[in-house]
A = this chain, B = another copy of it.
Amino acid sequence: MKSCGVIVEYNPFHNGHLYHLKKAKKHADADCMIAIMSGNFLQRGEPAIIDKWHRTEAALRGGADLVVELPFLYAVQHSDFFSKGAIQTLAELGVDSVCFGSENGDISAFTKAYEHMHKWKEEYEVALRQYLNEGLSYPEASRLGYEAIKFPSGTIDLSQPNNILGYSYVKQLLTYAPEVEPLTVLRKNNHFHDEDITGSVASATSIRKELLAKGEMSSDAQTTIPSTTEEQLQKYKDGHGLWHEWEAYFHLLQYKILTMEESTLRCFHGVEEGIEYRLKRAIKEATSFHEFLMKLKTKRYTWTRLQRTLVHILVGTDKLEASQLLRATPPPYARVLGMNDSGKKYLRMIKKETTIPVITQPQQLESEMLDLEARAAAAYYSVLSPAIRVRALKKEYGAPVIL
């Protein structure tokens, strides 16, 4: 049974994802498509529009055979840790290949870039440090660092943000799991952070923006997602009363930051370089999440970095614990969020070969990483009304989605 891994957020699962799964399956000649998916909080430091269970069901109905959770601590991270968590988990699950979408579509452009980077690592790091010392943000400094080491033609352009994640996957694969084949397929929509819907393949960002602005399913949104996703979005809203976005959490964040001393804020993952003082000052005056971010943003602190830090404050990710957990290799477990028959069959097949526990419910294992996951779930659901919240929290300890 041949398997292929994909690294996803499915926030929400849309036509581009459907296309990618189909193409990847064909390209990898796979019998089982394994999606490792962020849970309730996402890489850019945002709550998912609907919870992981409803996104899992949409993924299974859209072509995934097995959905595994990327633990919260890896999911809300810059590309290095995000990729490390995803690739290592997929490798532990014995995938034959990992396939990601790219604007290039040629895997050798990524592997060659990795070789070039490997050779010029020191020069890159000198340049990176210099730009960081000048007060630039990490993405901007690394972009200039990549420019400094001049990638030869035939390699991807790492100064383009859209290439960074794919590059990180390839780097992690070549470093930690050389037995897994890296694959890429051409992305149908090249602009995956587009703000507006322009056709039937739109960015998840534009679809969320449309849904949250309208507050209900719109015909524009409908054209961009499979009907199975539409069902899950509707079902979530009917059962939980909302689609999630940062603004709904603002009062909790404000309450938390205002009732903490700077010295306590400093203990959260991502709170560095005295930003705790800015946080306390800015939140006193802000009346919305957006206004808060506008007050916080500087050349050095990008919107995404700030959002990630705020997610870790919201959830209460302890800095020391996080750094210990992130150092551990491989991840402590793989947690199945959902599967169909092929997924089940695959799991049975690999059962004896995996070195990390494969679990379907968190109570099957004692792990700090899972305790953190439970806190993330509690934070995510804390904007629901009381009875719905209690029910949603129980789901965290329930069975996975079986199709």
Identify the A interface with B (CB < 8 A). Answer: 250-252, 254-256, 258-261, 264, 284-288, 314-316, 371, 375, 378-379, 382, 386-387, 389-390, 393
Contacts and interface: CB of A to CB of B under 8 A. Distances in A.
Contacts of A315: 259
B261 A371 contact: yes
Contacts of A250: 386
Contacts of A286: 386, 390
Given A386-B287, A386-B288, A390-B287, A316 B260 contact: yes
A37 to B, nearest CB: 22
Contact of A375 (B258, B287, B390): B258
A219 to B, nearest CB: 33
Contacts of A288: 386
Given A259-B375, A287-B387, 8 more contacts: A250-B386, A251-B386, A254-B382, A258-B378, A259-B379, A260-B316, A261-B375, A287-B389
Copies of this subunit: 2
A255 B377 CA distance: 10
A88 B379 CA distance: 42
Contacts of A256: 256
Contact of A382 (B255, B264, B386, B393): B255
Nearest to A384: B251
Closest 9 CB pairs of A and B: A258-B378, A287-B386, A255-B382, A259-B316, A259-B375, A287-B387, A259-B379, A252-B255, A259-B378
A314 B250 CA distance: 17
B386 A258 contact: no
A386 B252 CA distance: 11
Contacts of A261: 371, 375
A263 to B, nearest CB: 10
Nearest to A321: B261
B379 A255 contact: yes
Contacts of A371: 261
Contacts of A389: 251, 254, 287
Contacts of A251: 382, 386, 389
A261 B373 CA distance: 12
A94 B250 CA distance: 45
